Every structure is written in structure tokens, then in C-alpha cells.
Structure 1
């Protein structure tokens, strides 16, 4: 893949319409080897963490479509080889996190995938993208579960910074794009459509 042409995007727009989904890839061990190596690369490249996660979910029975998706990730890496995480000493120390989730994104289990990234000033310091443990009955519930995981991460990072002697100057902020989930955090009353939310969230 050293001489491959770079790809500007990681995944196709419609994953369910990729050709060769019924044809199994002949060398599953080779597929798992490549996908496993990409997992290590996500430690410093969070931009393709979701795509690698998606590819790794298909390790047991990869199809030709999955292998083409894996090669597409490698072609994206080829075109963005100079990208990385940059830390600056002049940035502020405000702690903030941004979170989002899809609703019933997995076509097999109908579970949602939630993710967040945390920034210390302008420096990206942690990120996560994972499938949720249960099926959400609404997009608000999926966003609310992700918001809960984001709040737990912010709380942990705040404690770590305090122990390192680097206390934050103002409270950490969590940003979510679902208005109802935000209102529910401010006024957590049991509405008709939210009374089934687990007490953990």
C-alpha cells in the first residue's frame, strides 16, 4: 500500500450499499493482523478511531467489502501521514468535552454508538467511541447515555489533574447537540418518555 493513491474520506456514505458483502475474504488471519495494527495507531490518531472500530467488529468473518473498507482506511492514512496531536504551552487550561451518538446505528443489534473527546485548552487529551451496552428507545436516551459517560470522564480527568498539581481554573464543560438531553440534565424529572432510563445515567 506504499504506492497507493490517498483517499480523502475514511468510509463510504452508505455502508449497507457497498458491493461484495456476501463474498467472504479468503484470508481472515491476514485481515485480523492488519486491523489489529490499526488499533495501535488510533492511540495518536483519533480521527479514524470510529472507522477502525467498525472494521474490527468484522474480524471473525470478514467479507470482501470489509477488506475494501480496511484498504480504504490505509489509503486515508497515506494521504494524512503528516497529521497528529499537537500540544502547545501557551494554551489555556480549561477542560471541555464534546459528545455525540447515533441512534440504533448497528443494523444487527440496533444498539447505538456513542463517543466523546476531551480537550485541555486546545489540546486533545482523551477520546472514546464505543457501542452502548443496551438498546436505546429514543435518540435522547442514546445521547443521555453518552453524556453520562462524558461526565464520568471529565470527573476522572479533573481528579487526575488535581493529583498532578494542575488544578483547572474553572468547571469542566460538556457539550451535547441534543437539546432534550441537555434539558434533562438540568431538570431530571421522570417524564413519560424518560422514566425508563437507568438510574446509573
Structure 2
């Protein structure tokens, strides 16, 4: 470690400091490592993605290499295996690397390569959460949420500790990477992480029971067209205390789900149209970001992106260039959505409420409708995980 400025030894200017603390114990270590590593990649011809700083791309002639870095874990892909092998040799000459071959696990996510698709799952991680909650022998349930709360909330001695509640809720947030079907339930639990009540502990246990019966579920990545389409929805005044609405949206690239979000809106909406319009603005921002990310992969999305909403009033408001007194408080969102419509970046389309896929991300649903929308989110079971006995 170089001598810090102001503390140089004039008698020994070429000496370095002995680092007594492990480099991973320093808060700025990951940033320094990223700066060093990315600087070397730029010398080799890579370029930073303008949309995602963890993505670096290399394009020379017909050769394309894409590198995704998360601290010290690296994922590399491209269309030229010999060029990738040459690049890894250069990389290994400067840094100490472990070549683990074709990706099958990355950041706790299991990647299975099937003949017609990839399958992403977190089966082992889900089981570790169930084990941490000491609910390995619990009875599974078919729905992570409940539309009607029980009159008497049963006490639970296993999950009654608030620190365990926070630990499990934090772990469940990472599970939503491949499980958008639990995103709403996890978002609801996270809002009460500072002071969990018996009702929240009851909902947490119900969610873990659902994961127990669906630990083998995951997301499929299938080969299809590269056309983006987004579904946006909002549940008006869903929070009984603050009366803030819940925003939910999901985006598909062809037939593959690539992005989704569940958020409680920061301000109180005065009408369902206003809450839906704020959800449209959030979905538009995420969709435009995905469009720019596609550009980094040299796939320009020329046609407008279809943005589906089941609120005709919000669609009419977005297509109306005239500002009214009732929309002054959402003027920024109005201009943002309207500008992207006039620029042909997005195209608002009405959709029936029964076909609104994002409905699963905004509110608790009945089990029948929940399963229907879960299938539409392309969440399926891992065929290589045994779920029961096979009959002849």
C-alpha cells in the first residue's frame, strides 16, 4: 500500500505500508478492485455500458464479448469461443482467476441449460431460508398472501423474535430475483421490518409455507423475438394506515420476463387514475432503461414499446396534450410519459383487468387467479427436482 499523502517518509520514499487489515475488511475495497479491474479491461478494448456499470462490452469486427462483473464474480459470454479463450489468457496473466467453465451457478442462482431454454432457480437458497426459520416440517400452502385475515392471529414462538423477522425478510428479498410471484408479499413484509406485529409474523410464516411447497419454481429464458412489452398496474390507497398506493409493473423481452418491480408510492394519490398514472411513469422509466440496455447489446428497438394498462382514464390522460388544474400536482410524470409517447418510444394500449399480468404484483389474490397469473409470468417448476412419486 502506497504511503498516504501527508504521511510520506522522506528518508524512505520508496517503501510501502504494511497492510495489517484484510483487504475485504475495508469499505472501499470493492470499489478499488472494480476500478483496477475495469481499467485493465478498457485497455484491452472493452467499453462501459451506458446503462449498467457492471456490464462491459467488446466489439471487434464480427467478434462480440460481453462481461458482467459483480465484485469478484465474473460472467463472460460472446459469439467467438477462441476470442474468449484468448481474452481469458490475457486476463489470467494479470489477475489470479479460477475458470469454472460453463456457468451453472452464479451468485446463488442455479443456471440450467436445456435444449430449448435456460432455467434460473434458487432451490437450495429457498431451502436454506426454510431451515433458518425452523419450518422444514411445516405444511405447504398454495398462496403466499391471504385476501382475508383471520379473526384471531395465532402466536408463533419460532418467528416471534424481531431480529429473526428482519433476517428472514432480508433473505427473502434476494429470493425475488427468480421468484416474482413472492415480490408483493416480500414488499409488504419489508414495510414493517422496524416493528413487526403478530399479523406480520403470521404473514411471514405463511410466505415461508408457500415457499416450502414451491421451492423448485424458477424462471425460464426461451429463444424468441427481441420485442419489449410492459404491463403496468396500481392498487389505489392499498396501505390502510398511510393510504399510499402500490405500483407494480413487469417487462417481457419476447416471451421471457426480464424485469419487474413492486413499490409503494411515495405520495398519496387522490384518485385511482392518479395512482395508475404514477405507475405508468415508473414503468416507462424502467422500459426506456431496458431499451438503452438492448442498445449496448447492439440490438436497437426501433418500434415503440407496448405499455399495457387496464385504466382507460390514465391512458386518456397520457394521450391528452392539454394540462388541467387537476393534473398540476403530477405535471412532471405527465410530461415524462407524454414526451415518450410523442417521441414514439412507448405506445399505451388498453388491456382488460382479467388479462393484467401485473395485477399479481400489487395486491393479494385468490389462489385460482394467483396461479393463472403466475403461469403468465413464465414461472415454472424445475423438472430435475423430484416433487413426488412417479406412477407407472
**TM-score normalised to the size of structure 1?**
0.91
**C-alpha distance in 2 between matches for 1:139 and 1:55:** 24
Structure number with the higher strand fraction is 2
What do residues 10-47 of structure 1 show as CA deviations (whole Å, max 9, x unaligned)?
111135x5533999x74111111111111110111111
Q: Structure 1 residues 34, 163: CA separation in 2 closer, same or farther (over 3 Å shift)? A: same
State the aligned residue count. 199
- Residue 181 of structure 1 aligns with which residue? 314
**C-alpha distance in 2 between matches for 1:139 and 1:129:** 17
- Residue 42 of structure 1 aligns with which residue? 176
Aligned with 2:220: secondary structure?
A: coil
- Residue 233 of structure 2 aligns with which residue? 100
Aligned with 1:12: secondary structure?
A: coil
Q: Judge conservation of contact 1:46–1:127 (CA < 8 Å) in 2.
A: yes
| Larger radius of gyration between Structure 1 and Structure 2 | 2
- Residue 246 of structure 2 aligns with which residue? 113
- Residue 20 of structure 1 aligns with which residue? 153
Aligned pair 1:141/2:274, yes or no? Answer: yes
**C-alpha distance in 1 between matches for 2:333 and 2:318:** 13
Of structures 1 and 2, the one with the larger relative CO (CA 8 A, separation 6+) is 1
Gaps of at least 5 residues in structure 1 are none
Gaps of at least 5 residues in structure 2 are 1-134, 335-392
**C-alpha distance in 1 between matches for 2:331 and 2:151:** 37
Aligned pair 1:165/2:317, yes or no? Answer: no
Aligned with 1:5: secondary structure?
A: coil
- Residue 376 of structure 2 aligns with which residue? none
**TM-score normalised to the size of structure 2?**
0.48
- Residue 200 of structure 2 aligns with which residue? 66
Aligned pair 1:84/2:201, yes or no? Answer: no
- Report the aligned-residue RMSD: 2.1
- Residue 190 of structure 2 aligns with which residue? 56
